[in-house]
C-alpha cells in the first residue's frame, strides 16, 4: 500500500512548518531539560530525568512520522482532476436521506481534516464512501453506528 498523500500547497506548508518547529525548537528544549535533570544527581531516582527522556522518545517518534509524511506528500494539481467525480479536494454537498439534513464538505488528507471547518478526511468512513461518486448518486456508507444513506447533491472544485 502506498503512503503517498495529496495536499494543497497550504496543507504541505503547514506540515513542513510543524516539522521545523519540532526539530529546531522542541528538540533542543527537551535536550536541555534532560541535561538540567542529569545535573541534579542520581538518575535512577530522578523523576524529572525520566520524564524528559520519555518526552524525548515521543518527540523523536513524532518527528520521524512527520518526516515520512512530508517525504511522501504530493501537491495535487486540481486543474487535472475530473470535476464530475468526488476525489480528494472535491467540494461536496450531500443530503442525509434519513433526516433530510444537508452537509457541505471538502475532502482532504488526514492531516488537513477539520470537521468544524468542513474539511473531511478522505480516509474517514464517509470520505471513503463518497470517493468516485457523482452528482445524483445515492450512497450507503457503513459508519460506526450502522449504515447511513446519502444523496450527492453537488460536486465541485
pLDDT tens for 1-11 read: 457 777 778 88
**69 and 104 part of one domain:** no
**62 and 92 part of one domain:** no
Q: What is the pTM of this model?
A: 0.62
For cell 518547529, the residue is: 21
**9 and 36 part of one domain:** yes
**67 and 10 part of one domain:** yes
Q: How many domains does the chain have?
A: 2
And the C-alpha cell for 54?
520519555
Residue pLDDT, tens place only, 65-102 = 999 988 888 887 666 666 778 888 889 999 999 899 99
- Where in the sequence is the domain holding 125, given as residue range(s)? 79-156
Residue 77 burial (CB count, 10 A):
8
| Three-state DSSP class for residue 139 | strand
- Percentage helix, strand, coil, to 5, in the chain? 45, 25, 25
Amino acid at each position: 500500500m502506498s503512503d503517498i498523500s495529496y495536499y494543497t500547497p497550504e496543507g504541505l506548508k503547514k506540515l513542513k512548518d510543524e516539522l521545523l518547529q519540532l526539530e529546531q525548537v522542541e528538540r533542543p528544549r527537551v535536550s536541555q531539560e534532560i541535561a538540567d535533570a542529569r545535573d541534579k544527581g542520581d538518575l535512577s531516582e530522578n523523576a524529572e530525568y525520566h520524564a524528559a527522556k520519555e518526552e524525548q522518545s515521543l518527540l523523536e517518534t513524532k518527528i520521524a512520522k512527520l518526516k515520512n509524511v512530508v517525504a511522501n506528500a504530493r501537491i495535487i494539481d486540481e486543474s487535472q482532476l475530473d470535476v464530475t467525480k468526488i476525489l480528494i479536494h472535491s467540494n461536496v454537498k450531500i443530503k442525509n436521506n434519513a433526516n433530510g439534513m444537508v452537509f457541505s464538505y471538502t475532502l482532504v488528507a488526514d492531516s488537513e481534516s477539520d470537521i468544524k471547518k468542513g474539511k473531511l478526511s478522505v480516509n474517514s468512513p464517509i470520505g471513503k464512501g463518497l470517493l468516485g461518486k457523482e452528482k445524483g448518486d445515492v450512497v450507503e456508507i457503513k459508519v460506526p453506528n450502522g449504515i447511513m444513506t446519502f444523496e450527492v447533491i453537488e460536486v465541485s472544485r
